[in-house]
Structure 1
Amino acid sequence: MSEIEIVLPAIESADTVIETEVGQYRVAGLHIPEKRVMADPALLRDLVKAARTAASNAHVPYSHFLVGAAVIMADEPAGNVITGANIENASYGATICGERNALHAAAAKGFRRIKFLALSTADSLDGPLPDRSPCGICRQVMREFIDRDEAQDAALIMMDTGDADFTADILDIDRLLPYGFRL
């Protein structure tokens, strides 16, 4: 199958200022430029399937909430898929999410830039996007592995829908974490 162009539309909203008796407050607007990514839809579908399969390997004796992730790193020349699943621990601080598990495995192999990341939350596939989205820590970790000023070839983040008609919801890090922390 040939590649398709995926267009993530620009988002623009201006800052607004609220005048009060004690001073001004600014409500932050948002500026996300349009991004265009070429991708093989069969590869993206297979990546979502790999994330769903990875979810079956989750160790979740406490939450029973299975999460799997599959990532292809832009700086990995062979384009291999690296997977991870959430692994819980009785000491919740020792728990690791599926997304971070996959990204840490990629980083341990020396790779530093996400190209495509898919995740699957096996128990909430038919739920709304917030029920299938990464937690805040995972979003911040993803940001660490995405080029600062990507314009073209944005890293795509896909959330499995479990729907027969839709393979995944597609976002980029700016839509997922618009004001992520940066050093």
Structure 2
Amino acid sequence: MEDRYLNLLAEAKAAGANSYSPYSRYPVGAAILWETGRITTGCNVENSSYGLTVCAERNAIYKGICEGERKISALAVSVQDSKMPSPCGACRQVIREFAEECPIILQNGEGKIAISSLRELLPNSFGPEFLEKNERR
């Protein structure tokens, strides 16, 4: 595995240590590698009003957007659980907003690593290009 992906996983794992997950007890960390080379991280933040909970992946993406980033090159997700993580449907769609395709590196608490792709996780996706304005006639 490429060193940059191992570094991204390490950043995701470190971010997961800051998770606020008192209800699910399922801490998640994420790290985004942007086209510029910058890395932003995020963790899941739960809320007693469950619908207000935000996933680690979206927190990391929104942080990058706030810092001026627009194009995702790769994403890593790390959990402490023995099961392999996978971005939820909402996160998959948000990832798609900023990447047509990118590697998604997943790591569980036992150190096992799997690599997927956005196209595998969200086939036949809907993206910003579907909403591009047509020229007026």
Q: TM-score range by the shorter chain?
A: 0.7 to 0.9
Q: Is the 8 A contact 2:32 2:39 kept in 1?
A: yes
| Residue 42 of structure 1 pairs with residue 3 of structure 2 | yes
Give the structure 2 partner of residue 66 of structure 1. Answer: 27
TM-score, with normalisation over the residues of structure 2?
A: 0.85
Q: Distance in 2 between matches of 1:104 and 1:92?
A: 20
Code of the aligned partner of 1:104: Y
Residue correspondences, number = 128
Q: Distance in 2 between matches of 1:56 and 1:161?
A: 14
Aligned residue for 2:105, secondary structure, equals strand
Aligned residue for 1:181, secondary structure, equals coil
Aligned residue for 1:118, secondary structure, equals strand
Q: Distance in 2 between matches of 1:163 and 1:175?
A: 24
Give the structure 2 partner of residue 143 of structure 1. Answer: 96
Aligned residue for 2:46, secondary structure, equals coil
Moved over 3 A (4+): 161-164
CA gap 1:113/1:157 in 2 versus in 1, 3 angstroms:
same
Give the structure 1 partner of residue 106 of structure 2. Answer: 159
Question: What runs of 5+ residues in structure 1 fail to find an aligned partner?
Answer: 1-39, 148-153
> Which one of 49, 54, 60 corresponds to residue 15 of structure 2?
54
CA shift, 1:118, in A, is: 0.3
Structure having the larger proportion of residues in helix: 2
User: Percent identical across equivalent pairs?
Assistant: 40
What per-residue deviation string (whole Å, max 9, x for no partner) do you get for residues 27-85 of structure 1?
A: xxxxxxxxxxxxx71111111011111111000111111000011111x2xx2221000
Give the structure 1 partner of residue 133 of structure 2. Answer: none
| Residue 111 of structure 1 pairs with residue 56 of structure 2 | no
Code of the aligned partner of 1:145: F
Q: Is the 8 A contact 2:80 2:108 kept in 1?
A: no
Question: What runs of 5+ residues in structure 2 fail to find an aligned partner?
Answer: 131-137
Q: Distance in 1 between matches of 2:68 and 2:11?
A: 21
Decide which structure has the larger Cα Rg and report it. 1
Aligned residue for 1:72, secondary structure, equals strand
| Residue 88 of structure 1 pairs with residue 41 of structure 2 | no
Code of the aligned partner of 2:2: P
Aligned residue for 1:61, secondary structure, equals coil
Over aligned residues, Cα RMSD in angstroms?
1.6
